[in-house]
Each structure stands twice: as structure tokens, then as C-alpha cells.
Structure 1
Amino acid sequence: MIKHTPIALLLAALGTAAHAADPATLGTVEVVGTAPLPGLDVPRDHIPSAIRTLDDSALRHAGGASLAENLQRRLPGVSINEVTGNPLQADLNYRGFTASPLLGTPQGLSVFMDGVRLNETFGDVVSWDLIPQSAIADLTLAPGANPLYGLNTQGGAIGLHTKRGDTHPGGEASLSSGSFGRTRASLSHGGSKDELSWFVAGDALRERSPSEAGQLFGKLAWTTATTDIALTLAQANTDLIGNGLTPTSLLSDDRNTVFTHPDQTRNRSTLLALSASHWLSDSDRLAANAYLRRTRSRTLNGDANDDYEDAYENWVTGGMIGAAPDETGVLNRTATDQNGAGLGLQWTHYAERHQFALGVSHDRGHARFSQTAQEGELTDNRGVDTDEASELENKLSGRTLTTSVYVTDTIALAPTVQLTAAARYNHTHVINRDKLNRTAPNLDGDFTYNKLNPALGLTWQASPALTVYGGVSQSNRAPSPIELGCADPDNPCTLPNALAADPFLEQVVTRSLEFGLRGRAGWIGVRYAWDGR
């Protein structure tokens, strides 16, 4: 493999510009969607950030067990951390911010699929196991605090776009097997007839452990010269085991041991989405979407009992009367039911020197969360043996309503200089109701967060093979119902599969400053693309 430093590539790019270049090589213009809804497709050289894209071929050949793992293998700067030990429950990290399926993790990345926000209502979590991998046509990673993507876009936004029958015709099937008894199967078919197209796909994953994951996806689309309408249905059902990290002291005795067990997460999700776009004229396009989403999650965690040491100490100081407490373990169970709905509308105007977009979106979600604890004895094999009754410790209902208005304009100041200005106003209302304790003090709360987030960027095509860019942007994250409802130190929630401190309850505001070079260089008919910041 030939490697070139950015300085060497820069010199090569400038050298290439000094010679007569092949027009076919440098004449191709790649456009990238820069907003959740379709229509705002901007040439890559006009984007003032190190935006990344992947197509379905790159994702398929990455060979990862999950979408998060494929992103780590293909996108620079992306890393994952399997806290639970399960690849479908990994934390994805980018520029110091995280998209995680674990409640209690500060979520600094937003994820969209065909313009539908996938961050859940209750904790803004991202459940990678519910995303239909074989249905992904391409994706975009927009870095930084890009306000156009709304809440949680502190480190970046991931935009997923699904396949259609007119763009991905024919059938495809695959079956693979790997280490640790892992087996994966996928099946898809797409086709079209006149204005109608269809695409269906299914994924299944099983490991030697009891983990199982299955996804089904279907899309029906109607397309004419000026109008496109698509109806999407996605379902997922997963049963995951993730026994987490094990202390070195236990591994020294037995490399096959776990800290505690069981650690089980069962998810079920249904997403129904309708999207449409219409060209009002040669220079005006209207795009809209609406969706309904329902998610059910159940967790079972065998843990060491944090109250045991205090109970034992009280027994000793009390004169050791009666039997010694032996509740060294506890089975924690949670149930989370979430319903979400939303709609968005965007108008895009193309002019000679402007590419302007104005949009509005509204998302609402309702989550019901309950938690029980069943004390017992921690066994020699790190399980929990109990005959005690379960006790209800938390029961919370949370609602989140977010309304946003955004505007952006890319202006050609000169043939090789483009200015991009954008702003988004977010209004978020969070309502919590304590269903276990109806008398104060309890977990009831009513919170409102408002924020106007701007962005400004500039690009300069120094040569056909070299672009210089820079920009500043701002985005915010509002506390989720789980953070607001479980922040009281006197009445904490035991979060499944994660350890988290009491969160900071003011909205989090992030500002990004980015400068970089983007270019292409060719040697002996071979083309290299690079992007440094």
C-alpha cells in the first residue's frame, strides 16, 4: 500500500493543477446531501467541513458485525467501545462525542434514516441493533456542531439513506459465518415497473451466545419527472446478551468468567415513514416527511447489591442479632415503552449564485419507564439466586416535544469562493410525571429549553484539485426525560448496563471551529482523494 503525507499530496495536487489535466478526471462534480430531508444537495467542494460518505459497497465489504463496527473500519476518526461485550450494543465515538444504546450516556451524535431521527425519546440513545443494514444505500457523516441536524449534533450527524427498487434492482442473498459461532444472513430484492418501484430486505444475526437480531425492511415508491413519494416500513426484533467488563482479579482465576450475569436486553421496534418531494419549478423543490415509531425495550441485569455492605455493617453495629444479611446480589429489571411521531417540511431554491433552503420540523415522543429490584445471593458462578419478591423502585412517564425552524444559504461570492450561512432555532419541552409517588417531593417536572444555533463557513477552490475550507458552528443538546427524572441523588435510577453519574441538567451547547484542505491528485492514471483538517 502506498501512503502519502498531506504535504506530499498538497504538492502533488498543486503540481497536477500546473499541468494540463484530463478534463474527464477533474470534471466530475460530486454532490452531497447536507440536511436530513432531501433537496439540499451541495457539491462537496462547496462544503466547509470534512464531510464523509460511504456507499453500500463500502459498507458490505467492511465485514463488521454491526453498522457501528463498519463505520469504525471505513471512516477516519470513528472508534467504538463495546462496554457490554456485544458488538450490537457498541458505543460509537467521533471527535470525543458518543452515540450509544446505553441509558445514561451523554449522546453527542445524531442519527437519521431517510430524514427520520433515530435517537430515542427517553435517553436520546441510538439502538444500532434496530437499523436494517442490508437496506442502507449510502450514508453521510457530517462533522462538527452542524445546526441543520438539530439536537444532539455536537460532534456530528450520521445520515442514512435506504435503497429503492429503481436504484437497486434485482435480488441479492448472502450467508456468512465467523469466529465464536457468529452467523449472519441477509436477503434483498428490488424492482420497478413504470412509475412504481419496490424494495424489500431482511437481516438475521446469531452468535454462539444467546444473542439474536432480526430486521425486516420494505419500501414502496412512486416516481415521476417532478414528484417522488415513498412509503417505508421497518421492523426489528432483537435479544442481546452483553455481560460487560470483567475485573482482572476475576480473570486471573478463570478466563471464562464474567463479573455478574445475566445481562439481557430485548428490543422490538416498528417504524412507518412517508416521504415526498415535488419540483414546483426548475429552481424550486418542496420535500416533506412524516413518521410513526414504536419501540419496546426490556432489560434484565444481575448485579452486585450496592446496599449489602451498609446492611451488613448495620447488622454488626446492632449487636449481630438474628441472621446475617446475605443479599449480596440483585436482579434489576427495566421496561421502557416509547412512541414517537414527527413531520418535516423543507423548501429548496436554486438560483445562479444561491442555493437556499428553509425548513421546519416537529418531533414528539412519549416514554414510559419502570424499574424493579429483586434482592438475592450472589452465587459462585456470579449469578443471582433469589426467592424474594420484586420491588418497584421507579415508574416514570416522560414526554418530549421539539419544534425547530432552520435556514441555510450557500452563496457564490466568486467562481471559486462560496460562503455558507445557516441557523436553526430549537424549542424543546420536556414533561416528566412520577407514577410511583404522586406527592411532592417526587420526579415530576416541566422544563423548556430554547436555543438559536448559527453556522458560518467559507470554501475556496485554489485549483481544480485543491479546496481550502473553514467554518464555525454551534449546536445544543437538551436533557432527556431519563436525565431529568433520575437526577435526584436521594432517589437515583439504576441504569441498565451502564454506570453514570448524576447528569448536568442545563442544556449543553457545543461550538466547533474547523479548518482544512481537501484535494485530489493523480499519478499514472491512478486517482487519490484526501481530506485533512
Structure 2
Amino acid sequence: MTTGGKQILAIRHLLARQTTASAFCALAAMAANGKAVASEPEAALPDVVVSASRSEQRRFDAPAAVDSVPVDPLRATSPLVNLSEVLAGVPGVAVRDRQNYSQDLQLSVRGFGTRSTFGVRGVRLYVDGIPATMPDGQGQAATADLANASRVEVLRGPFAQMYGNASGGVVQVFTPDPPKDGFTGRASTGFGSDGQWQAGVALGGGNDKLGGTLDAWTYQTDGYRDHSAARRYQLNAKVVAQPTDATRVTGQFNYFNQPLAQDPLGLTRAQADANPRQAVAAATQFDTGKTVEQTQAGVVVDHKLSEADSLQGRLYAGTRQLNQRLGMSGIAATSSGGIVDLDRTYGGAALSWTRHTTAGGLPLQWSAGVEANGMRDGRTGFVNNNGSQGALRRDETDKATDLGAFAQFDWSFHPSWELVGGVRASRVKLSIDDHFVTAASPDDSGSTTYNNVSPVLGMVWHALDTLNVYANLGRGFESPTLTEVAYGPGGVGSNLGLQASTSRQGEIGIKWQQQRQRLEAALFDADSHDEVVPLSNNAGRTVYQNVNGVHRRGLELAWRGGFGAQVGASANGTTGSQFEAGLAYTYLSAYFGESFLNAQGQTVNAGNRLPGTARHSLNLDVAWRPLPPLVLGAEMHVDSLIYADDLNTQAAPGYATFNLRAGYEFRIGKTRLFAFGRIDNIADRKYIGSVIVNEANGRYFEPAPGRRFFVGLRAAM
């Protein structure tokens, strides 16, 4: 954030919270010193977010439901492999670790994204400002570098539309900048139940003009279930150059390799109850699973034109190779292709401008930008001959482009009131060029374009130094993915007539904080038109349709507080309290407002719950520091019943799990060490961790592990 931007932010706080005379005195003092002034709550709770306004601001002042979760790679009491480890305490967010590294996490925000059977759908992902979501709306969370992250931001509600093709929210992972005063190093290792093993190293160094970081890590597991072993390797590099006071250049390189990720497939309820560790016979017969290799590079340039104006540009490109073996037999194996081979190239560019000025003597911030993203998939499909590649059954080139332009403003039109708003125009184009045309496989070639304008408008009332109230309204947009338009009705041709889903969203919320206490609550409502749901399943080919009247509404409640003396170090590296606790609760009523025919030709009644959503979710965590180097913690997670199909005939029962964790920090010479351990599901509860929504074979359920442990040691200097 520029110095001018920080001063404008400080001016707004002063005008909003002081009398006119005292504000002008403080402004005069600030101008004389040339420094921004921070308020007392910011010093106590210094979390910063950029997701809502695209410029640094306190989370407390952000005009939307946004969370900033600090990540400390040294003191975290988990291996930092999956986003589910850090986002459990964020209300409105469901992150289910499927224990299936072939299909990635299930990530949804306010009920958006629950229909995805693999990858992340309906939620936009970013890592250090670079999109991890492809132009068609499908994203991958596995490539995020949590082992060297500094924080994870989650933006929910209407303002997520300013980022484009994402109806439910935005998740951004940020990594730390290189040190400016020398060299740092960190190493870690750990092991746990089911053959888990993790090891990594991170190096960093530099000065105020040039610095860099490099980290590499590996993780492997035998898997909780049969046929669920996985291995991952990741290498990440970041270079930050400051050639002038006005210009900052950040270069990034990421390499992700997953040479092994077995897929145990889902189970029926009877199979899950009888033996949750088992894999169905098809998993071993067809050796289901996938291999992935992804390489990406990008550069972000921030340039300050003046004290009021700044530009940011980004440019990135990458490749992704994927080979996936599916569990298909009979007609499905010979007509659809049980082995998928994907060769993807992708990239994009963006340019945005931000201006800090005043209107009527009060702060006004403008942002405007354009961006373009594209990908090209060379996709082939082969018969899966019991795990070996057979005859060619699919050969096509798929393309997706995403063009967008946005404008956004934040105006303090009164010392206690802000008006915020924006508009985004999006154009998504999907095209299929079919190279495998036979009598049995007609030409699937074609293209379609989706155009949308998404406005959003909100207001913030700074009622007190410690209390903000906000409200937002907006429209959402979510295009079908290339996977969802791949097959037409009856398995003939493509389904490029499928429409994009649009939604009307609103929220109202409050934020209160004082000293070491913070309380936030939000009510939200979203109505979707042309929601994408399955229509039929023909020979392994899922065909999708649009339905209207899907409703998502609910309540989010979050509280975090510290008690007792200030001791030790908290997760974000600052002094922590002797006792700390946090609570996150979500009530979500997501249901179909109109009846329709499902994939089996049966009627889904109006009022049926949206599969994959829990009506009640609760997360509670407590930490106790009896001595400054020692921290003890406990966690509880509760989910109510989750339906697995549109008919609401199959469901995973509700459950509650309890975890324990401990960490101890000590020194050997100049080296800081942190030993940690955790026991998850300490009661050894048998439960369904996730469901495969509308699974065609009726194998909806993915059991979660029983009692398991993980211990580790990290060192830093």
C-alpha cells in the first residue's frame, strides 16, 4: 500500500471517530510528521486484508464478510498440506478433506461449490495474486504453498463478483516477502498415522532492493483407506525487486508434482458401515487414480505514479499434465474412455489502476482494471483395460477464455458512513474442436459465449470506534465448465447450449472488536437462476441441465478472544494471550425452490435440500499457554446431516469430532526449534467425512479416518 493510501485510510478513521476540531489537529500533526496514524484496535488486532477493496485495509473496516487467517510455518501444529488445516475456523466455509488426493478437497462457500465432484467449483482461488482458477471456473487447491504461507484470506458474498467467474467467494493464499536484512532458513519434518511423512526446507535472503525465497517440500501417505496412497513434491521460488521507491517487481515460480494419487472411489452406506477402510473392487481392477505435473511462472509489478495514483500489472503462464484412470466397465469403458490424458497450457494478464483522492473533503478511492485469461487443453481418452491404456475413444482440443473489466469505489461521504460499490463485465468463451469423429462418436465441435454484467453496492456505518455495520447487494455469475458442456443429452454431441448460472445476493453484518475480543455476524441470502445440475448419465457420460429457484440463505457467527496475561507468541508471530479461544458457527438453508427431473428421470421436489450442504456447522478451538514456550490446544468440529443426492434419499449422518494438539518452542544456540504433535478424532468416531454428490453408481460416501496422530519438528534460524 502506498504512503498516500495509508494516510487516506488514517484520515478516514480520524474523521469517523473524532470531533472535527480534534481530527484537524491530528491531521496537522500527521502532515508535519509525514506518517500515518493507526487506531488502538488496529494495534491490538493487526490483521490486514486486500480482498474486498483491492487495497490494504484493516479487516475490521472491510465492507464485506472477509476473514484473514494467519499461518505460521514454524509454529503451526499441523503438517500444512491441505487448506482444510487452516480454514476450519472460518464461518460460511466448508472444507472437507476427502482423504483422496486424486480428487482434491471439497471447498464451498455459503453453499456454492458443493456440486463439484473433483477440484474446486464456484469459488475463485488465488496464490499471491495469480489465479489458481481456470477461465471456465474450475480450480485446484492442491498447488497452494501452505508450507511457506503467511496468511489466507476468504471473501464471501456479493463483493466476490468483482473477481469474475466466482459466485460464492474468493480464497487467496499469500506467501511472505523475502527478508530485507540478511539470511533466514527453516527446515521441517514430521510423520503420522497411515504412513504419513512430510519434510521441507525454506531459504530466504536479501536487502531493501532485492531479495528472494526458495522452499521445497514433500508429503506422502499410505492412505487411510485401501488404494489411497499418495506422494507430492513441490518447489516454490519468489523474488522481490525494488529498483526504485516507486516500483516493486515480484517474480514467482511454482512446480507441483504428484506422481501417485490412488483413488479408492466412494462407498455405499452399507459398505462404509461394514468397513470404512475398504476400496471397491473397481478401484483395484482399473487402478483408479491420477498423476499430475504442473509448472507455473508469473510476475506482478506495482508502480506508484504519484502519491494518489498507482498501477498494478500481472502476467503469468503455466502448463499442466494430467493422466487419470477412471473406474469404468462395460459400455462406459469403451464409449467414454476410462483413461483421461490432459495436456494443458494456460496464462493471463491484468492491469489495474487505483486512485486515492477526496470528494467533498472526505476520502474517495477508485479502482479500475482489465484482465484476460485463457487455457488450451489437448484432451484424449482411452479405454481402461484393467489399469492399462487401451484404444483411443476421445481426441479433442478444448479452449476457454475469460475477459473482464471492472470498476470499484469506496467513498467516505460522511465521517461515519462509507458508500462502496462496483461493476464487472465478464465474457467467457468455451470451445470444443473434436478430432475423433466416427459413426459411433459424432462430432462434438462447437463453441459458446457467456456475457454478464455484475453490479454490487454496499454501505458501511462506523457506529463506534469498536463497532461497524455493513450491508451489500449484488449479482453473481458462474459459467459452466468445459467438463459440464462436454456431453449432450443422450450422450450425443456436446452440451454447449447449457446456460451460465446467475444469482442475486445480499448480506448484512456487524463487526465488533475491543482489546483482545472480536465478534462478527452476518446474515446472507442468495437466489440462483439456471443452476447447473445433472440431467442424465449415459454410458459414464454425465449430462447437465439448468434449473431455477435455488436458494441459499443463512447466518454466520464468529468470535475470538484472548484472556489472561500476554505470553509467548501467537500464530502470526505477535505476543499471545495465556488463554485464547475461537468459535465459528454457520447456519445454511440451501434448497431447490422448483421441482425438476434428475439424472434417473425422477422428480426432485421443491424444498429438497441442496446436496453436499450441512444445515449446521460449528467449530470451536481453545489454546492454553501454561508456560511461554508451551502451548496446549483442543478443537471440536460439528456438522449436521448432509444429503448426498438431489432426491434427499441418501445422507451422511451428523457428527462431532475432537482433536488435541501441543507445541513446544525452544532454542539451541541461535536456532529456534518447535516440536509439535496432534491427535485427531481422539474419540475414534466413525463418520462420513465427505459425500460425492449425485454419484452415478450410488457410491456416495467417503469415510473419514478414525483416531490418528501426527508429530513433527521444525527449526529456523
Which category of TM-score, normalised to the shorter sequence, fits these structures?
0.7 to 0.9
Partner residue in 2 for 1:420: 420
Change (3 A) 1:116 1:271: same
Please state if 1:51 is matched with 2:53: no
Aligned partners of 2:75, 2:392: CA distance in 1, in Å? 45
1:432-447 superposed matches below 5 A: 432-437=432-437, 441-447=442-448
Give the Å deviation of 1:532.
Answer: 0.5
Partner residue in 1 for 2:527: none
**1:332-361, Cα deviation, whole Å (9 max, x unpaired):** 210111111111101100113201111110
Change (3 A) 1:60 1:393: farther
Partner residue in 2 for 1:73: 88
Please state if 1:517 is matched with 2:510: yes
Partner residue in 2 for 1:335: 341
Partner residue in 2 for 1:289: 314
The one-letter code sitting in structure 2 at the alignment partner of 1:357 is S
Report if aligned partners of 1:65, 1:87 keep a CA contact under 8 Å in 2: no
Please state if 1:170 is matched with 2:184: yes
Match of 1:34 among 44, 51, 57: 51
Report if aligned partners of 1:100, 1:126 keep a CA contact under 8 Å in 2: no
The one-letter code sitting in structure 2 at the alignment partner of 1:390 is G
Partner residue in 1 for 2:249: 229
Report if aligned partners of 1:99, 1:125 keep a CA contact under 8 Å in 2: no
Please state if 1:195 is matched with 2:216: no
Aligned partners of 1:267, 1:147: CA distance in 2, in Å? 29
Aligned partners of 1:503, 1:59: CA distance in 2, in Å? 48
Partner residue in 1 for 2:590: none
Aligned partners of 1:458, 1:120: CA distance in 2, in Å? 32
Please state if 1:120 is matched with 2:139: no
Partner residue in 1 for 2:232: 213
Aligned partners of 1:307, 1:430: CA distance in 2, in Å? 25
Report if aligned partners of 1:108, 1:153 keep a CA contact under 8 Å in 2: yes
Aligned partners of 2:291, 2:387: CA distance in 1, in Å? 22
The one-letter code sitting in structure 2 at the alignment partner of 1:516 is G
Please state if 1:529 is matched with 2:518: yes
Please state if 1:141 is matched with 2:154: yes
Aligned partners of 1:92, 1:295: CA distance in 2, in Å? 21
Once structures 1 and 2 are overlaid, which stretch shifts more, 248-257 or 445-454?
248-257
Give the Å deviation of 1:364.
Answer: 1.2
Give the Å deviation of 1:144.
Answer: 1.5
Change (3 A) 1:24 1:278: closer
Change (3 A) 1:294 1:59: farther
1:290-369 superposed matches below 5 A: 290-305=315-330, 332-352=338-358, 353-369=363-379
Aligned partners of 1:385, 1:159: CA distance in 2, in Å? 37
**1:372-398, Cα deviation, whole Å (9 max, x unpaired):** 1235xxxxxxxx488xx8232222211
Could you tell me the TM-score, scaled by structure 1's length?
A: 0.80
1:99-114 superposed matches below 5 A: 102=117, 107-114=121-128
Aligned partners of 1:459, 1:153: CA distance in 2, in Å? 23
Report if aligned partners of 2:48, 2:68 keep a CA contact under 8 Å in 1: no
Aligned partners of 1:99, 1:332: CA distance in 2, in Å? 25
SS of alignment partner, residue 246 of structure 1: coil
Aligned partners of 2:422, 2:437: CA distance in 1, in Å? 45
Partner residue in 2 for 1:465: 466
Partner residue in 2 for 1:242: 263
SS of alignment partner, residue 163 of structure 1: coil
Q: Percent identity?
A: 17
SS of alignment partner, residue 484 of structure 1: coil
Aligned partners of 2:337, 2:279: CA distance in 1, in Å? 16
Partner residue in 2 for 1:9: none
Aligned partners of 2:178, 2:148: CA distance in 1, in Å? 11
Partner residue in 2 for 1:402: 402
Match of 1:184 among 162, 179, 198: 198
Give the Å deviation of 1:139.
Answer: 2.1
SS of alignment partner, residue 66 of structure 1: coil
Partner residue in 1 for 2:164: 151
Aligned partners of 1:47, 1:344: CA distance in 2, in Å? 23
The one-letter code sitting in structure 1 at the alignment partner of 2:125 is V
SS of alignment partner, residue 489 of structure 1: helix
Please state if 1:391 is matched with 2:391: yes
SS of alignment partner, residue 146 of structure 1: helix
Report if aligned partners of 1:147, 1:422 keep a CA contact under 8 Å in 2: no
Please state if 1:505 is matched with 2:515: no
Aligned partners of 1:179, 1:242: CA distance in 2, in Å? 19
Report if aligned partners of 1:100, 1:125 keep a CA contact under 8 Å in 2: no
Report if aligned partners of 1:147, 1:453 keep a CA contact under 8 Å in 2: no
Partner residue in 2 for 1:20: none
Partner residue in 1 for 2:430: 430
The one-letter code sitting in structure 2 at the alignment partner of 1:428 is V
Report if aligned partners of 2:337, 2:381 keep a CA contact under 8 Å in 1: no
SS of alignment partner, residue 69 of structure 1: helix
Change (3 A) 1:88 1:206: farther
Match of 1:257 among 259, 270, 278: 278
**1:130-157, Cα deviation, whole Å (9 max, x unpaired):** 2222232222111024355433321100
Report if aligned partners of 1:31, 1:43 keep a CA contact under 8 Å in 2: yes
Give the Å deviation of 1:73.
Answer: 2.3
Report if aligned partners of 1:146, 1:455 keep a CA contact under 8 Å in 2: yes
The one-letter code sitting in structure 2 at the alignment partner of 1:170 is T
**1:105-125, Cα deviation, whole Å (9 max, x unpaired):** 78210001122211135x633
The one-letter code sitting in structure 1 at the alignment partner of 2:368 is L
- Aligned residue pair count: 467
Please state if 1:476 is matched with 2:477: yes
**1:214-252, Cα deviation, whole Å (9 max, x unpaired):** 110001111142110111110010121221222244456
Aligned partners of 2:105, 2:507: CA distance in 1, in Å? 28
SS of alignment partner, residue 51 of structure 1: strand
Aligned partners of 1:436, 1:368: CA distance in 2, in Å? 12
SS of alignment partner, residue 484 of structure 2: helix
Partner residue in 1 for 2:596: none
Report if aligned partners of 2:326, 2:384 keep a CA contact under 8 Å in 1: no
Unpaired runs of at least 5, structure 2: 1-16, 18-37, 224-228, 523-717
Aligned partners of 1:424, 1:348: CA distance in 2, in Å? 16
Report if aligned partners of 1:147, 1:424 keep a CA contact under 8 Å in 2: no
The one-letter code sitting in structure 2 at the alignment partner of 1:63 is S
Give the Å deviation of 1:441.
Answer: 4.8
Give the Å deviation of 1:303.
Answer: 3.6
Unpaired runs of at least 5, structure 1: 1-16, 18-22, 309-326, 376-383, 494-501
SS of alignment partner, residue 72 of structure 2: helix
